[in-house]
Amino acid sequence: MPGGGWQIIKFERTHYISESLRMDLPFNRAIIARDNDRQLVYYWFVQRGRNVANEYWSKWHLLVDAVTKNRTDGALVRLVTPLRPDEPEDAADVRLRSFIEELEPRLKAYLPAETSSTAKAVLRHPENRQS
């Protein structure tokens, strides 16, 4: 993900657990830097209702869904916040994690679902129901 002179200086795969959202979200956590600027980055992939942090598993799900469902859509979710010069990483983590709490319930409306809305409409149509 680095580009434009940004370098990854720290990387880990972790997860965020939210009791209120009943969610265990795997994601990649990176600190990136360019000159004297630093940023905290969280990112993960969404493959038809699956949250995936590992790029290889994301590609695997994409391949399987292409063969079994004729679907190749997916999404990359990336959250970025600056780290001020004397700010501890924990403060930036709190910022992004509180943003996830607000974002996650709304995000699903914009990401590829397990079944497309077109497929749902076809399945609901009276002519397509089995007697």
pLDDT tens, position by position, for the chain (131 residues)? 567 889 999 999 999 888 877 878 889 999 999 999 999 999 988 877 778 777 777 777 777 777 877 776 777 889 999 999 999 999 999 999 999 989 888 887 887 676 654 444 444 545 544 44
Hey, what amino acid is at 126? P
pTM confidence score: 0.75
Q: Is residue 52 part of a domain?
A: yes
Residue 2 lies in a domain: no
- Residues in Cβ contact with 126 at an 8 Å cutoff, skipping those fewer than 6 apart: none
Rounded-to-integer distance, Cα 51 and Cα 75, Å: 10
Q: Domain range spanning residue 11?
A: 7-128
pLDDT of residue 122: 42
* Overall number of domains in the chain: 1
